[in-house]
């Protein structure tokens, strides 16, 4: 059988995704200078339970790793989520998530999630995650928006001053 055409497969398939991810990947070079406050790092390895049949991280697993990084970040800030839930002082549910996949993370990949804060509002804040592979290449980005909820009323409440101050230390310069 003769081969009459060759099909090039891109990773990720940009024709299915927002091409802004490509421009983000290009803009990632030199990010350390533009985002000096993303110095909290959470390291993880891509395990067997995180991959699909092709050996590539299954898409929802990125958000699981982002949440693991968020839990570690909050503990680092002195606002451990487990303690907050146990004392019933405040809830911080996720209102919004988004993720862009830039290159595959395969089984056994050693990765790092760099964490920063892009916005602190009256009742919510936005956490950004940059996922890098062992070679320092950008593999993905994610964002989560957390709303402060009063446990007594179930309604949004202002970000407590101590939490606001802790988050401010990781605020990314030039973000919205």
Which residues form the catalytic set?
52
Angle between helices 59-77 and 161-168 in degrees, nearest 10: 110
Structure tokens at 39: 């110095």
Q: If you write DSSP's letter for every residue of 139-152 in order, what string do you get? A: EEEEEEEEE-B-TT
Using CB atoms within 10 Å of the CB of residue 38, give its burial: 0 to 12 exposed, 13 to 18 middle, 19+ buried: buried
């Amino acid at each position: 059988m003769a081969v009459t055409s060759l099909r090039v497969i891109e990773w990720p398939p940009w024709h299915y995704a927002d091409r802004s991810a490509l421009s983000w990947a290009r803009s990632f070079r030199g990010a350390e200078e533009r985002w000096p406050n993303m110095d909290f790092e959470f390291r993880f390895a891509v395990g067997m339970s995180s991959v699909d049949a092709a050996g590539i991280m299954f898409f929802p697993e990125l958000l699981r790793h982002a949440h693991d990084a968020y839990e570690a970040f909050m503990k680092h800030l002195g606002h451990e989520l487990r303690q907050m839930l146990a004392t019933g002082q405040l809830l911080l549910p996720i209102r919004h998530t988004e993720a862009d996949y830039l290159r595959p993370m395969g089984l056994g990949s050693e990765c790092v999630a760099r964490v920063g804060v892009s916005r602190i509002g009256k009742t919510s804040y936005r956490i950004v995650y940059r996922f890098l592979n062992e070679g320092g290449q950008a593999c993905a980005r994610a964002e989560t928006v957390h709303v402060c909820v009063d446990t007594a009323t179930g309604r949004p409440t202002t970000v407590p001053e101590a939490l606001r101050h802790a988050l401010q230390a990781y605020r990314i310069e030039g973000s919205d």
